[in-house]
Structure 1
């Protein structure tokens, strides 16, 4: 009797979360990413390779949110068509997986770009260019489409013994999809973000120590300072933008790790234990946890604009103000 009561409570909480928390994330994330696209498209930012990665990542986040969250909202009222329509189920899952993979990998590429730009070797810094960013984006889009093409076969509607009714139809399908998602979409990009983020910090410390040693050994004459002044003024804005982009990238990596790792772990757990006998309470608990960590990943997709605005210094705030003044 107690198990039934707990199951009913969890089902009720899950329904309310899908109705209202999903709606909040949908509005919060869609508006934020749209503003991101408008700000990052401005002339002062769009030529920056890191800003370009953020721009395309924001577009991918919009696709992920608009493909995934409406079904979560409708499921709160038992009106989710993807639960019963196989074609819509496949298309929704495919678009959601591909767009989320693109968004995560582009942030990882942005971390690599910041690492290259902070290097004290000129040859490495030259790899940080808009052309390379565009080519890298095309490669990521193609690979993401290839990695998840199996979803069009594997996913099906009316799945009863799965966390969602729209889910993988066989054990092999679930294992392949969940491992691909956990490793390719979440763990590998996060690992790259962390590694290159630490390398960037190391490069920055090395550059600062090098500048300090130079300032102790070399005294610049007044005439040379005047000659360098105009060059410094021209490059100061670009360096400030690079610094702000690096800052928000680190903050985004932290939040992405916190909000997405739980789903990767949960998906692996669900797939590896799918053949075990479970009580109705355990099944309800698994579904509740799955729904909750799933929404956390959508929250991660909706947060970049607010991270950029709050933590990105005057670069993003000024861009946002200019956007409002123009409109």
Structure 2
């Protein structure tokens, strides 16, 4: 191996370590704060009546677990403190939890996009499917199926002390290909396609609702109540659409990287040490990018959701009042 190649490999490893120390820490801090606030806001009784809010709540919980199962180990690896590279059980549990939570996050956004499509439909029988009891069942079933989908991680992932990098990894040739393709399809490919389709259909529904003129009715109060409920459903649409766009931007790079690596490994494509180093660096960067999906939701909701901002203010006021009351009574 030439001196130039050695320098390139060393520099890429150094940059990766610095990114794991700095960028991973920033994502982890902002993601923790944002998801905790999301959980407080979406747990409010007024929002729990909205099925879309239930999916947002589930996505925030999944994001929090994904950050601490997947991203935290990358942060620790920047300081050579990642114990998952030495312990088989932690290695398996780390990847299983990260894959599971990231996939659940993606599918909760999928179901939120389907729910907004149903909730904004002018057809009553479609709107009937936009219900919180349906959302609770869907969340439970999706979580269970995603859990079962990644059982293979416990058989494929192990530690290897002879490797200088990525010591907790999927062994052999078939296992990496199966787990990577499975993650690619369940986390990236299918959710992206379905979210794009239903996001477009939701936009069409909202435009139709804007042009729709309510028919004359003798029950003005009932008509107004229906209009208010419909407006509340529409207010969640900008939050969801922005989240979908960001999901696509943050997910496509890691999907492309995983697909390339899986195919070249399966075909036994010979690579130089420099190629391996560049691919590893590219993969590490795209993984950090995909974890932005777990950290930006609160800031997206706060910027694009009028309803969310109102509920956020109420939550903050409730916490302030509760703190004031506890101080005055002690």
Q: Same fold (TM over 0.5)?
A: yes
Q: Report the equivalent of 1:243.
A: 234
Q: Distance in 2 between matches of 1:70 and 1:210?
A: 49
- Paired residue for 1:262? 253
Shift of 1:57: 1.0
Deviation of 1:236 (Å): 5.0
Partner in structure 2 of residue 166 of structure 1: 168
1:281 counterpart (232, 256, 274): 274
Q: Contact 2:181–2:262 (CA<8 Å) still a contact in 1?
A: no
Gaps of 5+ in 1: none
Distance 1:89 1:141 in 2: 21
1:209 CA displacement: 3.6
What is the 5 A alignment of 1:151-190?
151-158=153-160, 164-190=166-192
Farther off after superposition, 6-15 or 17-26: 6-15
Over residues 288-319 of structure 1, what are the superposed CA-to-partner deviations in whole Å (9 max), with x where a residue is unaligned?
11110001111111111111111112x11121
Q: 1:22 and 2:29 equivalent?
A: no
After the TM superposition, which of the residue ranges 157-166 and 123-132 deviates more from structure 2? 157-166
State yes or no: 1:113 paired with 2:137: no
The match for 1:325 among 310, 317, 329 is: 317
- Whether contact under 8 Å (1:163, 1:290) holds in the other structure is no
For 1:162 and 1:147, locate their aligned partners in 2 and report how far apart those are by CA, in whole Å: 30
Secondary structure in 1 matching 2:250: helix
Q: Could you tell me how far 1:136 is from its partner in structure 2?
A: 0.7
1:1-327 equivalence runs, <5 A:
1-158=3-160, 164-211=166-213, 224=218, 228=220, 230-231=221-222, 234-235=225-226, 237-274=228-265, 275-313=268-306, 315-327=307-319
Displacement after TM superposition at 1:208 (Å): 3.5
Question: What TM-score, normalized to structure 1?
Answer: 0.91
Aligned residues: 315
CA separation of 1:293/1:163 partners in 2, compared to 1, >3 Å: closer, same or farther?
A: farther
Determine the C-alpha separation between the residues in 2 that align with 1:236 and 1:123: 17
Q: Is the 8 A contact 2:120 2:230 kept in 1?
A: no
Indicate how the Cα distance of structure 1 residues 286 and 93 shifts in structure 2: closer, same or farther if over 3 A, else same: same
Please list the CA deviations of residues 137-179 of structure 1 after superposition, one character each: whole Å capped at 9, or x if unmatched: 1110111011101111111112766972211112111111001
Q: What is the TM-score with the length of structure 2 in the denominator?
A: 0.90
Cα distance per residue 1:81-139 (max 9 Å; x no partner): 11121110001111111111111101100111111112221111101101111111111
Check 1:6–1:210 CA distance in 2 against 1; reply closer, same or farther (3 A cut): same
- Please list every run of 5 or more consecutive structure 2 residues that lacks an aligned counterpart in the other structure: 320-330
